[in-house]
Structure 1
């Protein structure tokens, strides 16, 4: 059976691990948001390039 001191240490350790996981999740959310933003921009650029290719093909 755990002593009170061991239980407190265990709980504090778990709290620390949870806080680390929360920080990691927050960071991952920021990375995901940035990637979504970049993806949106790349899709926009891709559409512009497709349109430009069509224009060039129409000239030839």
Structure 2
């Protein structure tokens, strides 16, 4: 995500993304969920379907 946004937990607490562009974890392996920390690369996660970014 890029730009002006605010992430919140299910209970409504603000999650600090730490910067203006963040990626959300889809693989479930990140140590800083809900944010992506790149662990999917070593975990071998690949999203199913759709176009992949190259």
Q: TM-score, normalized by length of structure 2?
A: 0.21
Larger Rg: 1
Higher helix share: 1
Larger RCO (CA under 8 A, 6+ residues apart): 2
